Each structure stands twice: as C-alpha cells, then as structure tokens.
Amino acid sequence: MKQFRLFFTLTLVLIQFVVFAQEKTEEFQVFKEKYTGKEFNYEDVPKPKKEFEPGFFSKIIEGIFRFLSYLPWEIIFYFVIGLFLIFLATRIYKNGGILKRNSKKLYNESDFDFIEENLAEVNLNSLINKAETEQNFALAIRYLHYQNLQNLDKKGWIEWDPKKTNQQFINQIEDKKSKILFNQNTKIFNQVWFGEFKIDENQYHEFKTNFNQFNQYLAS
C-alpha cells in the first residue's frame, strides 16, 4: 500500500511537471514570435554550404539538439527531473523498492565471523535446520561445509584457521578418500554459494547426502 501511495505521489509530481513545461514552452513561443522578423535578423554572412548531406539519424539528432537549444534551461532541467521520477516510480512499482532486493541476504555476515572463530563449539545442526525451514538452501550448504571442516578438525586431519583457504585444508588431508570427498563437497559449496547456482529442494537434498556421507566417514 505504501509503494502504491509513493507511486501515485510521483505520478502527480510528473503531471505537474508536464503542465509546467507546457506553460513555459507556450510563453517562450510567444516571446519568440514577437521578436521574429527581418528587423531582428542580424546575420549578414551567409552560411557555407554543407560538404555532405547528413544521414537520416544525423538529421534526427540534429533536430533534437536544435529543439533543445530553443528551450530555456529550466525546461530542460525539469525534463531531466521528470525522466528520473519516471525511472524511480518504475523501479519501485516493479521491485517494491529503489534497489533490487537480494533474496540470498537472509543472514548476517557477522554470523559467519562468529562461526569461524568458534567452529569447534558451534551447533551447526540447529543452523542447518533453520536454513532449511526458511528454504535458504545456499545458506544451508554453507553450514554443511562448515560442518565438514568442523569434523575434519575434530578428527585432527586439519588445523582449523579461518584465514586458510579450502585448498590449503585439502592439502593438509593425508587420507586419500577424505581428500577426494572433501574436494568434491568443496566444489559443490563454491558453485552454490560463490557461483550463486540456484538449487531447488530436491537438488539440495542430493548435495546434503554427499556432505552427510563425508561426516559419517569421518566418524567411522
């Protein structure tokens, strides 16, 4: 309802601008006609002939600039403001806001900082369940990736450090099967989270199976 009111208000402002522009244009035309005539023609030197005939689009552009040169700068200014208002109203009407909302931003970046600083103690299962309930599958994949890292650290196969990269963790793993499985899960995480690959619920559960199987392997 608020978006409709804002859109309606902007529309009224635009209508007022159009009326104002028309009035100013009419005033300028009266002024122009009053001082048009031979007695007001001070151009004695004839214009040189054009060396070439401009094309169709060149004539259109030239006509637009000629028309704008006849208008007072106030009219041009308000015209630009009107175009901006149209753009603003269109974005609000289509997107529900001036800026397009990112559906993935259902989290706080500080949450990740907390998890990474306290990875050994964080209950990631509750965070995974919450993300699944909100159907934020990309976020759930990130938590599953953290869980793999958590279990690798508990197993003693990596030394957790939030400043290290996933490739550094892969290089730390000596167990060949774990290295392969974790590398595969890391590719899924990179593709879904950083690559913003959209997944539905079925695809998510397929990927989740891979992360859970790796956790089971580490627990065995």
6-20, 85-99, 105-119: which has the minimum mean pLDDT?
6-20
Q: Residue 144 falls within a domain, yes or no?
A: yes
Within this chain, do residues 118 and 77 fall inside the same structural domain, yes or no?
A: no
Within this chain, do residues 121 and 202 fall inside the same structural domain, yes or no?
A: yes
Average pLDDT over residues 209-214: 96
Average pLDDT over residues 148-153: 96
Q: Residue 100 falls within a domain, yes or no?
A: no
**Residue 44 in 3-state DSSP?**
coil
Q: In which domain, by residue range, is 143 found? A: 109-219
Q: Residue 86 falls within a domain, yes or no?
A: yes
Q: Residue 206 falls within a domain, yes or no?
A: yes
Within this chain, do residues 115 and 180 fall inside the same structural domain, yes or no?
A: yes
What is the total count of domains within the chain?
A: 2
88 or 17: which carries more pLDDT confidence? 88
> What pLDDT score was predicted for residue 104?
42
pTM of the full structure: 0.53
Q: What is the pLDDT of residues 9-37, one digit of tens each?
A: 555 555 565 555 556 555 656 555 555 55
Say how far apart CA 30 and CA 35 lie, in whole Å.
Answer: 9
Say how far apart CA 141 and CA 188 lie, in whole Å.
Answer: 8
Within this chain, do residues 91 and 130 fall inside the same structural domain, yes or no?
A: no
According to DSSP, residue 108 is labeled -
